Homo-oligomer: A and B are copies of this chain.
């Protein structure tokens, strides 16, 4: 029995089960399918093993409407997907030279030769199966239907998988109208759930909560009017904490707000060591608002470049309100920006003290327009990577609030 919009996702590859290559194609596809109204019933990572893969195909084909397979299409003997599908279908492998020629014609010289060497494997598909053009690599994709299940097979290289899936799945991935999300910053997940419990428990909507560092995305699905009302209710109840519609990352909110207000922003990063700058410049178009910033890991740089006074460093220390303020002011002036955020803290594992344990982080935002600099202290739990990540996310929140002129920090 096949439901209307049920799907399952498979990924093949021993390297995924040895744990160092992290499977990401299925998660990417699941997000696309979810937003297009599909229900993903399972994701499985399988070894390069014919019996295990056949067992999984037999379990899923005939029980979901859509099955998407990632990986196992390379040129080596470990890459068994086309053989496995041929065995499943009881069909011989044949070559689709026409499609392969189209792909090969993109290359010349050594690359073309390599393409030709792989032809006997990479151009092969089971007889009766449609091939899917690969715009980026040398492995053909595949598509067929059996027992009410539509099956797609794409290479595991993420860029190829995504490009081919977008093209081949087409309208199947079109987001449903009746879906929207609100991203909220500055709230712990549990406190936020209490604050908007009635909206989350509304029986006429389907809601999900997706927490990230200092950001919770609330996804609402249901009738258009209902979810719009739900979104309005959340925004009214959390004034100033909801990112604008369409914004799902803090860096995107920062860049959009700064573009909107024609402001430039900068940073002085100590314990985050570049994470804030990397996040902001992750946003296409950030060059319009972000001239650059300073990573001031050593106190000497805080002093020499940002003008933090030796007295502050000696008396208050680098992890202090005074130092955070001086860093933000220094960065704003040095970089010639309208606003700057600073981060200085103890990320660990070493460097903590009784007074300033690992996880102690000071932030400050300095504004040229108001002439004010405001600081905030946080004590984060977690290991070095978590403390740095949380610091990055908090700094971006404060910068965003600063751009909006919101000075009532929590």
**C-beta contact mask, A325-356 vs B, less than 8 Å → 1, else 0?**
00000000011100000000000111000000
**C-beta contact mask, A117-136 vs B, less than 8 Å → 1, else 0?**
00000000000000000001
CB pair B30 A18 closer than 8 Å: yes
Give chain A interface residues in 19-58, CB to chain B under 8 Å. Answer: 19-24, 26-34, 39-47, 52
A291-B282 contact given A19-B32, A273-B277, CB 8 Å threshold = no
Contact of A300 among B46, B190, B291, B388 (CB under 8 A): B291
CB pair A292 B295 closer than 8 Å: yes
Does A91 sit at the interface, judged by CB under 8 A? no
Contact of A20 among B210, B286, B295, B297 (CB under 8 A): B210
Chain B residues with Cβ under 8 A from A44's Cβ? 42-45
Q: How far is the CB of A261 from chain B (nearest CB, A)?
A: 18
Does A247 sit at the interface, judged by CB under 8 A? no
A297-B282 contact given A18-B219, A40-B18, A305-B334, CB 8 Å threshold = no
A274-B284 contact given A291-B300, A301-B335, CB 8 Å threshold = no
Does A272 sit at the interface, judged by CB under 8 A? yes
Does A167 sit at the interface, judged by CB under 8 A? no
Closest chain B residue, CB of each to CB of A34: B18
Closest chain B residue, CB of each to CB of A248: B20
Chain B residues with Cβ under 8 A from A204's Cβ? none
Task: Count identical subunits in the complex.
Answer: 2
CA distance A190 to B269 in the complex (A): 39
Does A275 sit at the interface, judged by CB under 8 A? yes
CB pair B385 A20 closer than 8 Å: no
Chain B residues with Cβ under 8 A from A321's Cβ? none
Does A79 sit at the interface, judged by CB under 8 A? no
Q: How far is the CB of A223 from chain B (nearest CB, A)?
A: 19
Q: Which of A30, A281, A287 has the most CB of B within 10 A?
A: A281
Does A276 sit at the interface, judged by CB under 8 A? yes
CA distance A130 to B274 in the complex (A): 45
CA distance A16 to B280 in the complex (A): 27
CB pair B24 A19 closer than 8 Å: no
- Using a CB–CB cutoff of 8 Å, the interface residues on chain A facing chain B are 14-24, 26-34, 39-47, 52, 114, 136, 159, 190, 208-211, 217, 219, 269, 271-282, 284-287, 290-298, 300-301, 304-305, 334-336, 348-350, 381-386, 388
User: What are 6 A-B pairs at a CB distance below 8 A?
Assistant: A21-B211, A44-B45, A159-B386, A281-B295, A287-B298, A291-B297
